[in-house]
């Protein structure tokens, strides 16, 4: 009898909890644009360890989606932490989360600032400048940029999300991007073939070096927060995180290496057109001289691009006077060093490879020419 009473009491206690859990689960979640109409600042409340909290009572008008045109009141909680707070004022454009529940109840909260407008303006300015300065080739550059974005977003990333090995996917994507970009920009000719061979070789070399050295120093591929978060995605994919790391190195080096390959091939063709009496050796040396000038700045570009995003981390090490030995051997720092140096090595080797291929193809009609 006592057992039955306990079961009955347990059911009474659990039923409200179950009902509450079902009630708290939204049936639909929307992210929409909105504009802040009015803000009323609430009182500041001092919480634990001197942290001050505050609530903004905000009235917003929703600008998109099924609730477009509706005005709602939102409580915007602030903790005076710049990393997480979204303080707003009248006139601000924001992104709001709209949660719909089964009983028709709708809850709205401010998710972030609406940044897409200015990003769109910047993108439009970028495209207009490319077309204005480049004319026909500028239009081709915009087309190749769109194709590159499509390959990455619609082909490469979805395949990785299915758990397919990211390294061959990145290599194939890099080759495809290189082929499409160079052929659209310059057409099918000696210059394009030379640039394609040089770029592809440089990217593959960078990938091989990164893979070999990364394996030897036992890089995990989990140095970034984003990589760690991939372990908890709803798809439940068992990622090869080291593969993702090397994939990123290959793709990150592609742009600079392609630029160098095309510059060398184009320079050698222009030199040959200006003076067709150059021997293979002279033509090759001319291409190498151009490449040396490019190399001096491009290697800096790669290394600065990779380390620029690590400035806060480097400042932390300096502020706490962390030992150089410890810094260099940290996974996150070793990853960036391998990324920078392997990409730079691929870039440097692209110069002689492109110069050699370009010279041989341009001077192919004289196979017995002296000096090469």
- Arithmetic mean of pLDDT over the chain: 84
- Residue 133 φ then ψ, to 5°: -80, -40
What's the start-to-end Cα distance of the chain, in Å? 102
Judge whether 8 lies within some domain.
no
Residue 260 to residues 190, 199, 214, 267, 315, Cα–Cα distance (Å): 16, 8, 25, 10, 32
58 pLDDT band, cuts 50/70/90, is very high
* Residues 335, 187 share a domain: yes
Q: In this structure, are 109 and 213 located in the same domain?
A: no
Q: Most confidently modeled of 5-9, 67-71, 98-102, 325-329? A: 67-71
pLDDT band for position 372 (50/70/90)? low
DSSP state at residue 42: P
Q: What angle do CA 174, 295, 343 make, to 5 degrees?
A: 35
Note the pLDDT of residue 351.
93
d(CA 103, CA 118): 38
Tell me how crowded residue 331 is: count the other CB atoms within 10 A of its CB: 15
325/252 same-domain check: yes
Q: How many domains does the chain have?
A: 2
Residue where one domain finishes, among candidates 113, 135, 164? 113
Domain contains 184? yes
Joined tokens for residue 299: 């290697």
Task: Write the DSSP assignment of 253-267 as a string of letters.
Answer: HHHHHHHHHHHHHHH
**73 and 217 co-located in one domain:** no
- The reply to whether the predicted model has a pTM over 0.75 is yes
Q: Are the beta carbons of 238 and 164 closer than 8 angstroms? A: no
Rounded to whole angstroms, the Cα distance separating 14 from 11 reads 5
**Tens-place pLDDT, residues 204-254:** 998 899 889 888 888 888 877 788 888 888 877 888 888 898 898 888 889
Both 262 and 354 in a single domain?
A: yes
| 189 lies in some domain | yes
Separation between Cα atoms, residue 182 and residue 294, nearest integer Å: 19
Point out the domain boundary residue: 92, 113, 134. Answer: 113
Sign of CA dihedral 200, 203, 207, 210: positive
Looking at the fold, whether 312 and 206 belong to one and the same domain comes out as yes
Mark whether 99 and 183 lie in a shared domain. Answer: no
Whether residues 61 and 188 share a domain: the answer is no
Same domain, 205 and 278: yes
- Per the structure, the complete domain to which residue 272 belongs is given by 174-362
pLDDT at 46: 58
Are residues 326 and 255 part of one domain?
A: yes
Arithmetic mean of pLDDT, 174-196: 92
Same domain, 190 and 309: yes
3-state helix, strand, coil in the chain (%, to 5): 65, 15, 20
Instruction: Decide if 145 is inside a domain.
Output: no
Residue 200 lies in a domain: yes
The pLDDT of residue 134 is above 90 = no
Do the domain assignments include residue 153?
Answer: no
* The pLDDT of residue 51 is above 50: yes
- Distance in angstroms (rounded) separating the CA atoms of residues 290 and 295: 9
pLDDT on residue 193:
94
Q: What is the pLDDT of residue 366?
A: 52
């Amino acid at each position: 009898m006592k057992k039955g009473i306990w079961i009955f009491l347990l059911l009474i206690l659990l039923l409200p909890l179950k009902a509450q859990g079902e009630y708290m689960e939204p049936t639909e979640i929307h992210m929409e644009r909105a504009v802040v109409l009015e803000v009323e600042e609430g009182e500041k409340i001092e919480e634990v360890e001197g942290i001050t909290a505050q609530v903004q009572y905000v009235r917003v008008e929703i600008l998109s989606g099924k609730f477009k045109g509706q005005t709602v009141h939102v409580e915007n909680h602030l903790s005076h932490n710049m990393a997480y707070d979204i303080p707003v004022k009248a006139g601000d454009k924001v992104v709001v989360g709209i949660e719909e529940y089964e009983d028709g109840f709708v809850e709205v909260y401010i998710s972030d600032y609406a940044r897409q407008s200015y990003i769109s303006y910047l993108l439009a300015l970028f495209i207009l400048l490319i077309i204005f300065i480049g004319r026909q080739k500028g239009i081709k550059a915009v087309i190749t940029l769109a194709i590159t974005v499509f390959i990455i977003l619609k082909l490469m990333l979805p395949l990785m999300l299915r758990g397919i090995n990211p390294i061959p996917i990145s290599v194939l994507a890099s080759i495809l991007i290189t082929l499409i970009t160079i052929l659209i920009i310059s057409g099918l000719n000696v210059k394009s073939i030379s640039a394609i061979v040089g770029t592809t070789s440089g990217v593959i070399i960078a990938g091989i070096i990164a893979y070999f050295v990364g394996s030897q120093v036992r890089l995990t591929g989990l140095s970034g927060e984003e990589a760690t978060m991939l372990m908890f995605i709803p798809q439940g994919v068992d990622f090869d995180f080291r593969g993702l790391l090397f994939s990123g190195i290959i793709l990150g080096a592609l742009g600079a290496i392609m630029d160098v390959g095309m510059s060398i091939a184009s320079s050698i063709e222009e030199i040959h057109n200006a003076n067709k009496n150059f021997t293979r050796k002279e033509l090759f040396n001319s291409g190498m001289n151009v490449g040396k000038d490019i190399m001096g700045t491009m290697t800096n570009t790669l290394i600065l691009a990779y380390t620029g995003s690590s400035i806060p981390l480097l400042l932390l090490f300096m502020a706490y006077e962390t030992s150089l030995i410890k810094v260099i051997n940290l996974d996150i720092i070793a990853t960036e060093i391998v990324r920078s140096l392997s990409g730079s090595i691929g870039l440097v080797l692209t110069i002689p490879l492109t110069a050699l291929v370009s010279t041989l193809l341009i001077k192919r009609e004289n196979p017995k020419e002296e000096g090469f």
